[in-house]
């Protein structure tokens, strides 16, 4: 199957999931609720979205700097601007096809900064592992600090469902899956050893070695403290965006950091489910705000306002980054 067609089918599939979620979420809304939602949209103070967008830009800039820390042990120091452009182009692509953005941003740095793509993929894996750890820590912190508000909700929506899946899991199927995975790994290792001198084997080995080197770069960093600081800054920006966003609506402007933490935690899951969180982020935010006494219509409006602001920022910065890469690259060639 051609790669372009495969990517198109992926986009249609994930976009379709987003549209389905929107339909499922909105089909039960009564005319009265629609009227309340429209009133919330009309009364929102959209000027307060400007500081949230500025903070959003800062979070992306911090992410670019943090990524550079992972490249430094490998012997590469790309420009911060190009790294920022790469991050934004990656986010833009992710809106269409999930996970392709990570590959794209590695490709951008490989092209404009001459850093080996395999090593960049390794740094990307390391960075995503750190983000996953941050999200898990955030979840634990949020739930433990708000057991009365979130305890039963998390138990019903996450823990019980996971427990049911584990209880219903077929042990034979699990063991068979593990066995097949082990056999595949052994087979690949045997083929690489058997045909160790072939071009394909050499290419695969070099690729694996480069990816591993990129992953291990996190342990070779000299500035681990600053890496942690920038990780905190990134997630601090995300939290600040939600907290300031509460002031867009008079019905949510009394909510504090506890509610913002909960929205960030559960909303982050929505951003993973579909491209850019379309159809998933707003309803999850609405359900979360319901736990804090926010009416359905207000939670619905807030979720869509925040999602739209974040998505618009990614689209605008992504397009600017595509232009910026071309312009600055051309200037660099002319200077030489």
3-state secondary structure 74-92: HCCCCCHHHHHHHHHHHHH
pLDDT band at 47 (very low <50, low <70, confident <90, very high): very high
Q: pLDDT value at position 206?
A: 55
Residue range 34-58: mean pLDDT, rounded: 86
Dist. CA 239–CA 64, nearest whole Å: 18
pLDDT band at 334 (very low <50, low <70, confident <90, very high): very low
Which pair of structure tokens corresponds to residue 243? 């907290």
* Residues with Cβ within 8 Å of residue 314, at least 6 apart in sequence: 88, 91, 92, 95, 276
Q: pLDDT value at position 235?
A: 95
Residue range 102-118: mean pLDDT, rounded: 87
Q: pLDDT value at position 205?
A: 59
Task: Please say whether the beta carbons of 89 and 104 come within 8 A.
Answer: yes
Which pair of structure tokens corresponds to residue 208? 């694996």
Look at residue 184 and tell me whether its pLDDT is greater than 90: no
Among 10-19, 28-37, 71-80, 120-129, which stretch is predicted with the lowest mean pLDDT? 10-19
Find the Cα–Cα–Cα–Cα dihedral 163, 168, 169, 170, rounded to 10°. 160
Dist. CA 2–CA 16, nearest whole Å: 21
Which pair of structure tokens corresponds to residue 193? 């050893």
Residue 124's alpha-carbon distances to 7, 60, 108, 120, 130, in angstroms, are: 21, 15, 13, 6, 10
Query: For the purposes of burial, counting CB atoms within 10 Å of the CB of 331, is it exposed (0-12), middle (13-18) or buried (19 or more)?
Result: exposed
Choice between 177 and 57, residue whose per-residue pLDDT is larger: 57
The Cβ of residue 287 has, within 10 Å, a number of other Cβ atoms equal to 17
Look at residue 165 and tell me whether its pLDDT is greater than 60: no
Q: pLDDT value at position 336?
A: 45
pLDDT band at 335 (very low <50, low <70, confident <90, very high): very low
């Amino acid at each position: 199957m051609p790669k372009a067609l495969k990517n198109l089918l992926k986009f249609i599939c994930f976009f379709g999931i987003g549209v389905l979620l929107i339909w499922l979420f909105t089909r039960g809304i009564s005319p009265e609720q629609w009227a309340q939602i429209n009133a919330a949209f009309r009364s929102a103070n959209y000027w307060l979205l400007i500081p949230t967008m500025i903070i959003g830009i800062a979070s992306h800039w911090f992410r670019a700097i943090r990524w550079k820390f992972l490249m430094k042990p490998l012997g590469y120091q790309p420009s911060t601007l190009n790294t920022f452009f790469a991050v934004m182009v990656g986010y833009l692509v992710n809106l269409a096809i999930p996970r392709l953005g990570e590959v794209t941003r590695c490709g951008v740095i490989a092209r404009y900064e001459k850093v080996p793509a395999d090593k960049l993929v390794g740094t990307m894996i390391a960075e995503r592992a750190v983000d996953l750890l941050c999200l898990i820590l955030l979840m634990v912190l949020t739930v433990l600090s708000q057991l009365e508000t979130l305890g039963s909700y998390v138990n019903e929506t996450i823990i019980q469902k996971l427990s049911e899946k584990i209880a219903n899991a077929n042990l034979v199927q699990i063991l068979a899956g593990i066995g097949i995975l082990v056999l595949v790994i052994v087979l690949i290792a045997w083929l690489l050893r058997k045909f160790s001198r072939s071009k394909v084997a050499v290419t695969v080995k070099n690729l694996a070695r480069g990816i591993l080197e990129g992953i291990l770069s996190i342990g070779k960093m000299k500035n681990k403290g600053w890496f942690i600081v920038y990780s905190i800054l990134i997630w601090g920006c995300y939290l600040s965006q939600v907290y300031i966003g509460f002031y867009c609506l008079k019905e949510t402007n009394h909510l504090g950091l506890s509610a913002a933490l909960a929205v960030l935690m559960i909303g982050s899951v929505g951003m993973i489910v579909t491209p850019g969180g379309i159809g998933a982020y707003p309803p999850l935010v609405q359900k979360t705000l319901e736990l804090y006494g926010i009416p359905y219509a207000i939670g619905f409006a807030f979720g869509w306002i925040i999602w739209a602001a974040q998505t618009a920022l990614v689209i605008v910065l992504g397009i600017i980054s595509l232009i910026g890469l071309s312009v600055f690259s051309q200037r660099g060639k002319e200077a030489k």
